[in-house]
A and B are shown apart, each in its own frame.
Chain A
Amino acid sequence: MFKDNIASCVRSLANEESVALDRRGFLRLSVGTGAGLVIGAYIPVKSATSGQAAQAGDAVFNPFVTITPANKVIVLSKHLDKGQGTATGLATLVADELDADWSQMVAEFAPANAALYKNTFFGVQGTGGSTAMANSFEQYRKAGAAAKQMLVAAAAQAWKTDASKITVSKGVITDGTNTATFGELASAAAKMPVRDTVTLKDPKDFIYIGKSFPRLDQKAKVTAAPVFTQDIHLSDMLVAVVARPPRFGAKPGSVDAVKAKAVKGVIGVVTIPGGVAVVASSTWAAIKGRDALQVTWDETDADKRGTAELLEEYKALAAKPGLSVRKDGDAEKAIAGAKTVIDAEFAFPFLAHAPMEPLNAILAFKDGKATIWSGSQLQTIDQSVAAAILGIKPEDVAINTQWAGGSFGRRAVYNSDYVAEVAHIVKALATDKPIKLVWTREDDIKGGYYRPMYLHKVKVGLTESGEIAGWHHRIVGQSIMEGTAFAASSVKNGVDATSVEGVSDTPYTIPNYEVEVHNTKFGAPPLWWRSVGHTHTAYVMETMIDEIATRSGKDPVAFRLAMLEKHPRHAAVLKLAAEKAGWGTPVADGVARGVAVHESFKSFVAQVAEVRIADGRAKVDRVVCAVDCGLPINPDNIVAQIEGGIGYGLGAVLHSHVTLTDGIVDQANFGDYEVLRFNEMPTVEVHIIPSTEPPTGIGEPGTPPIGPAVANAVAALTGQRIRTLPLAIHKLAAS
């Protein structure tokens, strides 16, 4: 999601690496920027809500590892787990270095404290950009190794033996004569001085890393345990829903709350900057109250453009030079002298994230201190936004991070929009009762923070022999990063790297390559959506390359491989996916294969989709995927993320779009904002490239290739090159 520098932050797998302690007892890490691991000096304030408040007797080894007298190892995840298996992944790293037994591992979320828990790539506490494993890989292993060292020291002292005689395996500590569990030695061990080195395992000795272990949150989720923000009830809690303006940029004008207040259970109606909140004793009362509310909106600053108008504007912009992103050689000249020219325009719609759990957050403000319960994905920003509204210091805002029912980017918001809403409500009501803000699905679909609409205009000149002579590429759309805290690292000379990623850094060897961008403004705020810029750039690049191959009479896989000579990891996944899919072998009648390969978040993914046309629609039967995400920490979780990434991307490519008429969103719920349903899920086969490279992203990289792989198969079947998404707006016919 964010422009990162994983390669420079994560070194190769440390082998017997020693790390020095400085005089204040801070373990200095050799990775990342200031990834300080405080050992032994800090007592974490654990999540009060999950009912797992720190118990007396729990032994705190470091900010990441606590061991209970009942022999449980609690790993505090600094990252939100919104379904990607992150918390289990971090626990795996600790468990391995600690030589714990898997059955004793527990995952919980860390409190908001950027000093201890920042994402070393962002500098703030937050999750995104598929960075969780990459930025924590050494940090959590070191936390586990340090805790093990302290347990061994405590055992040596208790048994009056030399530490070198002690071994630890599957949660049991022994010197051959005595044995103890972690729980038995934990309180003594936590008081042990931290020695000046931790030694990390040689990767060949990993016991959990690289193997598939079930998720630690699986049981709770299968038994319908209350783990989500939506499930929390606090005593005296009130529920708020907010009426927001139908057009982006409008503000509340006059409010007639008489009927709303007459609804049984409604307690108050307050105006906040972005809307009018109805506060009630129950969710249903708040919803009914909002239905009865009459608001006249001040539309002075409202954006009244619809998607049709925007498209016209974007097309006009695409005809003009934009900001230069990359210029190799002279594309225009090369195209002018080419034998054939392909002139293509692609249009991508706004997309809502539509996580299964609609947005929500609880905030309680009492005695100058605020507590938030939320599936918080950018804790540091949530803290500072709430603090500024409430007039307190960010450190006086505690966050109890909850398991999130999905996010796909929506819970990581540069302005903490929904946390700001609940803070404004609490402030306007001047209440010390906890307020739970609930968004309905309609609020979610109509609420903005979309994957922006983009237009690509691509001109490619081909030589007589069908080689690319020149490539000219203009992208038009909203910048996601401009104006946010992430602009400093992502926007250079007006060019937002996330608008052009995937095009600007194409792996293909293309002479005379030119890329430009136009940044546009629209009332609906833009936001990163699972795989960000790659959601559209992969589609354009991979369908164009495919079209060029086909027009030149070349095999799409061989054509790509010839241009990927300098990119062995791209080539390797492409070859593997093609081989496993039986590329070039016959398929069933009415079925065609399409291929795509794309790098995102430092991971390489190739997919071959088998598609047929039924009732004018594309039906995807099977997807064969090859992935290289560095060292695979938990292979089954990688498979799950690829399956999920494919399903999420496929739903959007087939069905989803947010459109606007006169500035008002046309869709409202899953009836008109359609997403992938059960019977549309293809069989997914995932092949993981064995690797000892540092682990890279997996939550997002499965998404970008599926659209172009399917579109390329559709073209093979129908001859139709679909350049406006979603596919559902086109009637497809097998030729």
Chain B
Amino acid sequence: MTKLLINGREVEVTADPDTPLLWVVRDELRLTGAKFGCGQALCGACTMYADGAPIRACVTPIESVAGQAITTPEGLEGRVAEAVRAAWEKHDVAQCGYCQPGQIMAAVALLNGKPTPTDTDIDEAMNGNLCRCATYGRIRTAIKTASETLQG
């Protein structure tokens, strides 16, 4: 049994302690917002937070985050998250959409730390999140829009 704190709720899971968080969350807890893209910490599709910091859930054994507050895309809430989602809609960012939960997690984490990011800050924060539809330009624009909304 491993005790996890997912989106503010405590759950006990029976998976082996070395099972990646992503598969426990997707297959056992049926929260499918975080996606499987590479399984090797190379694409960012599986991004979740552990105590507020982005992690690659596909390579994070559950035992390593027991007791930490895990946030999945479904549990992402608050002013910054709302501003980011609204900006994504405004700029019609998603194409296939598969990478977008991870992109949004990364963008919200960036704005939490740096409310008015520079282009370089954005590059650094987003470079680990692949988008095969290449929506990168719109993501950049949407991050700036969200930042302005939050300043306003």
Contact A651 B134, beta carbon cutoff 8 Å: yes
A residues contacting the other copy or chain, number (CB 8 A): 60
Residues of B within 8 A of A (CB): 15-16, 19-20, 23-24, 26-28, 30, 32-40, 42-43, 45, 73-74, 85, 88-89, 92-101, 104, 122-123, 126-127, 129-140
CA–CA, A671 to B59, complex, Å?
15
Given contact pairs A283-B27, A677-B127, A356 touches B40 in the complex (Cβ within 8 A):
no
Contact B131 A356, beta carbon cutoff 8 Å: yes
CA–CA, A319 to B97, complex, Å?
46
Contact A679 B89, beta carbon cutoff 8 Å: no
Contact B97 A405, beta carbon cutoff 8 Å: yes
Give min CB distance, B119 to chain A, whole Å.
9
13 further contact pairs, Cβ within 8 A, besides A83-B94, A282-B27, A647-B137: A83-B97, A222-B93, A222-B104, A226-B32, A227-B97, A355-B96, A405-B98, A640-B95, A643-B138, A678-B122, A678-B127, A678-B136, A678-B139
| Residue A648, interface by CB 8 Å | yes
- Between-chain CB contacts (< 8 Å), 12 pairs: A215-B92, A230-B36, A284-B15, A284-B23, A355-B98, A356-B37, A356-B99, A357-B98, A404-B96, A405-B97, A647-B133, A675-B130
Contact A84 B38, beta carbon cutoff 8 Å: no
Give min CB distance, A287 to chain B, whole Å.
8
Residues of A within 8 A of B (CB): 82-85, 214-215, 217-224, 226-228, 230-231, 233, 239, 264, 282-284, 287, 354-358, 403-406, 408, 438, 440-441, 636-637, 640, 643-644, 646-648, 650-651, 669-671, 675-679, 681, 683-684
Given contact pairs A226-B32, A284-B19, A679-B127, A644 touches B98 in the complex (Cβ within 8 A):
no
Interfacial chain A residues near B137, Cβ < 8 Å: 643, 647, 681, 683-684
Contact B96 A284, beta carbon cutoff 8 Å: no
CA–CA, A643 to B139, complex, Å?
12
Interfacial chain A residues near B35, Cβ < 8 Å: 228, 230, 356-357, 405
Given contact pairs A283-B26, A284-B15, A403 touches B138 in the complex (Cβ within 8 A):
no
Contact A230 B92, beta carbon cutoff 8 Å: no
Contact A230 B127, beta carbon cutoff 8 Å: no
Contact A644 B101, beta carbon cutoff 8 Å: no
Interfacial chain B residues near A678, Cβ < 8 Å: 122-123, 126-127, 129, 131, 136, 139-140
B20, B100, B135, B137 interface centre (most CB from chain A within 10 Å): B137
Residue of B nearest to A679 (CB): B123
Contact B95 A84, beta carbon cutoff 8 Å: yes
CA–CA, A239 to B73, complex, Å?
23
Contact A356 B98, beta carbon cutoff 8 Å: yes
Contact A643 B134, beta carbon cutoff 8 Å: yes
Interfacial chain A residues near B15, Cβ < 8 Å: 282, 284
Give min CB distance, A705 to chain B, whole Å.
15
Contact A224 B135, beta carbon cutoff 8 Å: no
Give the total number of A-B pairs whose CB atoms are below 8 A apart: 173
Contact A231 B32, beta carbon cutoff 8 Å: yes
Contact B33 A224, beta carbon cutoff 8 Å: yes
CA–CA, A53 to B139, complex, Å?
34
Interfacial chain A residues near B33, Cβ < 8 Å: 224, 226
Give min CB distance, A228 to chain B, whole Å.
6
Give min CB distance, B26 to chain A, whole Å.
7
Contact B30 A233, beta carbon cutoff 8 Å: yes
A408, A644, A646 interface centre (most CB from chain B within 10 Å): A644
Residue of A nearest to B92 (CB): A214
Residue of B nearest to A85 (CB): B95
Contact B130 A677, beta carbon cutoff 8 Å: yes
Interfacial chain A residues near B28, Cβ < 8 Å: 282
Given contact pairs A356-B132, A648-B132, A681-B136, A217 touches B40 in the complex (Cβ within 8 A):
no
Interfacial chain B residues near A677, Cβ < 8 Å: 127, 130
Contact B130 A356, beta carbon cutoff 8 Å: yes
Residue of A nearest to B123 (CB): A679
CA–CA, A708 to B38, complex, Å?
30
CA–CA, A222 to B87, complex, Å?
10
Give min CB distance, A595 to chain B, whole Å.
21
Interfacial chain B residues near A355, Cβ < 8 Å: 96, 98, 132
CA–CA, A43 to B87, complex, Å?
39
Of the candidates B19, B100, B130, B139, the one whose C-beta lies within 8 Å of that of A221 is B100
Give min CB distance, A44 to chain B, whole Å.
25
Contact A222 B36, beta carbon cutoff 8 Å: no
Given contact pairs A669-B40, A670-B38, A406 touches B127 in the complex (Cβ within 8 A):
no
Interfacial chain B residues near A287, Cβ < 8 Å: 39
Give min CB distance, A406 to chain B, whole Å.
4
Interfacial chain A residues near B30, Cβ < 8 Å: 233
Contact B38 A441, beta carbon cutoff 8 Å: yes
Contact A646 B134, beta carbon cutoff 8 Å: yes
Residue of A nearest to B43 (CB): A670
Contact B134 A681, beta carbon cutoff 8 Å: yes
CA–CA, A203 to B137, complex, Å?
32
Of the candidates B101, B123, B126, the one whose C-beta lies within 8 Å of that of A224 is B101
Interfacial chain A residues near B97, Cβ < 8 Å: 83, 217, 220-222, 227, 403, 405
CA–CA, A406 to B132, complex, Å?
7
Interfacial chain B residues near A83, Cβ < 8 Å: 94-97, 133
Give min CB distance, A230 to chain B, whole Å.
6
B85, B97, B139 interface centre (most CB from chain A within 10 Å): B97
CA–CA, A684 to B104, complex, Å?
22
Interfacial chain B residues near A85, Cβ < 8 Å: 95
Contact B45 A356, beta carbon cutoff 8 Å: yes
A222, A283, A408, A640 interface centre (most CB from chain B within 10 Å): A222
Of the candidates A403, A643, A650, A675, the one whose C-beta lies within 8 Å of that of B135 is A643
Residue of A nearest to B16 (CB): A264
Interfacial chain A residues near B34, Cβ < 8 Å: 224
Contact A222 B94, beta carbon cutoff 8 Å: yes
Interfacial chain A residues near B89, Cβ < 8 Å: 214, 218-219, 222
CA–CA, A676 to B136, complex, Å?
10
Interfacial chain B residues near A675, Cβ < 8 Å: 130, 132
Interfacial chain A residues near B132, Cβ < 8 Å: 354-356, 406, 408, 648, 675
Given contact pairs A85-B95, A222-B85, A441 touches B39 in the complex (Cβ within 8 A):
yes
Interfacial chain A residues near B45, Cβ < 8 Å: 356
Contact A218 B42, beta carbon cutoff 8 Å: no
Give min CB distance, A89 to chain B, whole Å.
13
